[in-house]
Amino acid sequence: MAAERYLAFPFGVAANGTLRTTDLDDAIRGRIEQLLFTAPGERVMLPGFGCGARRLVFEGNNEVLAAATEYTIAKALQEQLNRLVMVNAVHVVNQQETLRVEVVYTKSIDLERQRVVFQLLPQEGINRG
C-alpha cells in the first residue's frame, strides 16, 4: 500500500509536470505555517482563517502580549487543524526584531508528538527552525 500524499506547500509543479506532493508530516508543517502567517480576512472565501503572526514582529515585547498571542495561535490551530492535530503547547518569544513561534502538537492519525519552530524577521521573511 502506497503512503498517502498531500499537496506541497508552497504549491508548485514538479519537474515531471505533476503537482508537487509531500508526506503528512510536511503537509501539517505547511498548514501550520499558512495559518500562522495569514492575516484574518486575507482569504476571501475563508475570512476566519489565519492568526496574523507577521504583524506581531512590530508589537511591543511583554508577557501579556506573548500570552495573548499564544492563546490566539493555539485557538486558530485547534479550530482549523482539529482533524489532523491536537495542539499541546504554543510558545511565542518576541526578541528585538525576531518573532519565534514554537508549536508542539500530537498527530491524530498515530498519536506521534511533533514540534515545529518558525522565526519571523521583518526584512527576511519566514525562517523555519
Angle at 106 between CA 26 and CA 128, to 5 degrees: 40
Fold that domain 6-128 belongs to in CATH: Nuclear Transport Factor 2; Chain: A, (3.10.450)
> pLDDT (tens digit, 0 to 9) for every residue of the chain, 129 residues total?
567 888 888 788 989 999 999 999 999 999 999 999 888 889 889 888 888 877 776 666 677 777 888 998 999 999 999 999 999 999 988 777 777 899 999 999 999 999 999 987 766 545 555
Judging by beta carbons within 10 Å of its beta carbon (0-12, 13-18, 19+), is residue 6 exposed, middle or buried? middle
Q: What predicted TM-score, i.e. pTM, was given to this entire model?
A: 0.80
